């Protein structure tokens, strides 16, 4: 019972490099989310996908793109990484009915130097 799996767990990038964070869930959930967590800022929503084929901006979408590849997978891409994107990134999924909770992955710690 893997739940929500994020890869990689750790990553160091140079400013200007690009990378994609991968997220997959095996719970047949409809909704998926990407958050970033910074000290004192809580979890801020970057993008979410309420269903396969749809994506919507969250609170802090600038500098990121997402792809809902299929029902299981939701990737987050940094096209040109900046030091301000140093953070811990969490992926989450939810069944897709408003009263259902989100389940979280273990996070990806990204450092941009």
Interface with another protein (CB under 8 A), residue from 13, 21, 33, 87? 33
Per CB under 8 A, does 44 bind another protein?
A: yes
Which span (11-19, 53-61, 62-70, 74-82) binds another protein, by CB under 8 A? 53-61
Q: Give the torsion through C-alpha atoms of 43, 54, 17, 109, to 10 deg.
A: 30
Per CB under 8 A, does 105 bind another protein?
A: yes
DSSP string, 50-88: SSTT--EE-S--TT-EEEE-SSSBEEEEESS--GGG-EE
**Residue ranges that bind another protein, judged by CB under 8 A:** 31, 33, 35, 40-45, 48, 50, 56, 58-59, 90, 92, 94, 96, 98-99, 101-107
């Amino acid at each position: 019972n893997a739940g929500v799996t994020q890869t990689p767990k750790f990553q160091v990038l140079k400013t200007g490099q690009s990378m994609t964070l991968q997220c997959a869930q095996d719970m047949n959930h409809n909704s998926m989310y990407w958050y970033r967590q910074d000290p004192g800022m809580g979890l801020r929503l970057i993008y979410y996908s309420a269903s396969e084929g749809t994506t919507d901006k969250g609170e802090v979408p600038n500098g990121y793109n997402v792809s809902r590849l299929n029902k299981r997978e939701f990737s987050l891409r940094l096209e040109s990484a900046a030091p301000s994107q140093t953070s811990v990134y969490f992926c989450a999924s939810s069944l897709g009915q408003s009263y259902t909770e989100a389940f979280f992955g273990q996070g990806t710690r990204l450092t941009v130097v």
